């Protein structure tokens, strides 16, 4: 649990000789020593009602008052030279073919470390230079998202006007998105619509769930492309279209009907597909954003783009069918 400030701590005789920052880092269990040093530097720590230095040696018996957390400057994404597949670009927007394993942007809780590196935003800032600021300093240009292990098409905005108009299209469910997914097992119906609401899992906070009431509405349409009966088990290749864009929507919906996306161990897929005498592993989710269609925010022209299955997914299908 986060600390509740202000906090009053008394140093005992046994604490004599300890550095102030070391002492507080052990007493404030949720706060690192580096953060403690920042708090002291900002005057958020008083020893006997006076400011102190991190290196202060305690004598024992001091009254130490911790007033609050240090105020960090807002984290801002930085440009990085990362290869980027740009499939369309003009003065207002770009459409990127995102690879698997790349986060779209750093999370709000990220610190200025590796978690704020290697994202799509970092690459965009290098290749495109200027992006819209509507999404804030961590998410410049980002109109919608793809999960880290999902590949395929994503549109980004270069200016605020384009961002707002594209966002309005997504909100009105006017953007057409088609995904290709390979799931475990044979889906019974040739087509169908999944419309369970989606909520954050209260126990496993990195997951979403359809099992709770009061979630956000989510609509997923699927069509069976083909059913595969292989030495590694049964699988179904699906074309999927979504009306909404909830977090993990496709992954949650197909898992809820008992057919998790291949590779998606978060939602119940096995780490490997095992047959009687063979094992096959996919080190990413078999989920690809294959088609994207929207109106250009300036000209109203229809922009319709496609992305072929990445090589590793094509190769996986070929191995299944051998």
The two tokens of residue 256 are 């809820």
Q: How confident is the model at residue 111 (pLDDT cuts 50, 70, 90)?
A: very low
Question: What's the pLDDT at 204?
Answer: 86
Domain count, the chain: 3
162 prior amide bond cis, ω within 30:
no
Residues 100 and 23 both lie in one domain: no
For 269, list phi and psi in degrees, rounded to 5.
-70, 145
pLDDT in tens, 54-84: 999 999 999 999 998 876 655 677 889 999 9
The CATH number for 267's domain is 3.30.2350.10
Task: Tell me, yes or no, whether 1 lies in a domain.
Answer: no
The residue segments making up the domain with residue 119 are 74-172
145 closest CA partner among 136, 158, 156? 156
Task: Tell me, yes or no, whether 181 lies in a domain.
Answer: yes
Residues 321 and 192 both lie in one domain: yes
Residues 182 and 306 both lie in one domain: yes
Task: Tell me, yes or no, whether 27 lies in a domain.
Answer: yes
Taking CA 216 as the corner, what is the angle to CA 213 and CA 222, rounded to the nearest 5 degrees? 105
Task: Tell me, yes or no, whether 222 lies in a domain.
Answer: yes
Q: How confident is the model at residue 113 (pLDDT cuts 50, 70, 90)?
A: low
Instruction: Give the SS3 label for residue 25.
Output: helix
Q: CA-CA distances (angstroms) from residue 221 to 148, 268, 285?
A: 22, 21, 19
Question: What's the pLDDT at 138?
Answer: 76
Which helix (H) or strand (E) covers residue 289, if one does? strand 287-295
Residues 219 and 281 both lie in one domain: yes
The CATH number for 62's domain is 3.10.290.10
- From 66, 82, 112, give the residue that closes a domain: 66
Residues 188 and 298 both lie in one domain: yes
Instruction: Clarify whether 190 is annotated catalytic.
Output: no
- pLDDT higher than threshold 50 for residue 1: no
- pLDDT higher than threshold 60 for residue 112: no
Task: Tell me, yes or no, whether 2 lies in a domain.
Answer: no
The two tokens of residue 152 are 């395929």
Residues 316 and 206 both lie in one domain: yes
Residues 179 and 318 both lie in one domain: yes
Taking the whole predicted model, whether its pTM rises above 0.95 is answered as no
Instruction: Pick the catalytic residue from 15, 21, 92, 147.
Output: 147
Residues 126 and 247 both lie in one domain: no
- From 129, 149, 172, give the residue that closes a domain: 172
- pLDDT higher than threshold 80 for residue 242: yes
Q: Are 86 and 49 in contact (CB under 8 A)?
A: no
Q: 157 CB contacts (<8 Å, ≥6 apart)?
A: 92, 93, 131, 132, 134, 141, 143, 163, 166, 297
Residues 219 and 320 both lie in one domain: yes
- From 106, 137, 172, give the residue that closes a domain: 172
Segment 209-238 shows an average pLDDT of 95
Segment 159-169 shows an average pLDDT of 96
Task: Tell me, yes or no, whether 250 lies in a domain.
Answer: yes
């Amino acid at each position: 649990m986060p600390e509740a400030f202000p906090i009053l701590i008394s140093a005992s005789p046994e604490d004599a000789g300890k550095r102030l920052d070391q002492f507080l880092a052990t007493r404030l269990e949720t706060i690192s020593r580096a953060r403690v040093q920042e708090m002291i530097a900002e005057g958020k720590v008083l020893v006997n009602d006076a400011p102190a230095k991190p290196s202060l040696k305690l004598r024992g018996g001091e009254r130490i008052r911790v007033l609050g957390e240090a105020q960090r400057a807002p984290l801002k994404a930085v440009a990085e030279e990362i290869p980027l597949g740009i499939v369309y670009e003009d003065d207002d927007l770009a459409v990127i073919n995102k690879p698997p394993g790349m986060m779209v942007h750093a999370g709000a809780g990220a610190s200025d470390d590796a978690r704020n590196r290697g994202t799509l935003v970092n690459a965009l800032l290098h290749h495109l230079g200027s992006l819209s600021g509507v999404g804030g300093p961590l998410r410049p240009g980002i109109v919608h998202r793809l999960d880290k292990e999902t590949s395929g098409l994503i549109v980004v905005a270069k200016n605020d006007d384009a961002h707002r108009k594209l966002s309005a299209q997504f909100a009105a469910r006017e953007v057409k998105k088609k995904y290709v997914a390979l799931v475990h097992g044979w889906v019974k119906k040739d087509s169908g619509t999944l419309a369970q609401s989606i909520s954050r899992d209260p126990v496993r906070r990195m997951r979403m769930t359809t099992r709770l009431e009061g979630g956000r509405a989510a609509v997923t349409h699927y069509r069976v492309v083909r059913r595969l009966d292989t030495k590694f088990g049964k699988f179904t290749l699906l074309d999927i279209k979504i009306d909404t864009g909830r977090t993990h929507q496709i992954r949650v919906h197909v898992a809820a009907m008992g057919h998790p996306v291949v590779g998606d161990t978060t939602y119940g897929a096995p780490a490997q597909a095992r047959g009687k005498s063979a094992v096959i592993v996919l080190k990413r989710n078999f989920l690809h954003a294959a088609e994207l269609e929207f109106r250009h925010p300036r000209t109203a022209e229809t922009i319709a783009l496609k992305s072929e299955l990445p090589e590793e997914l094509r190769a996986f299908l070929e191995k299944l069918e051998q």
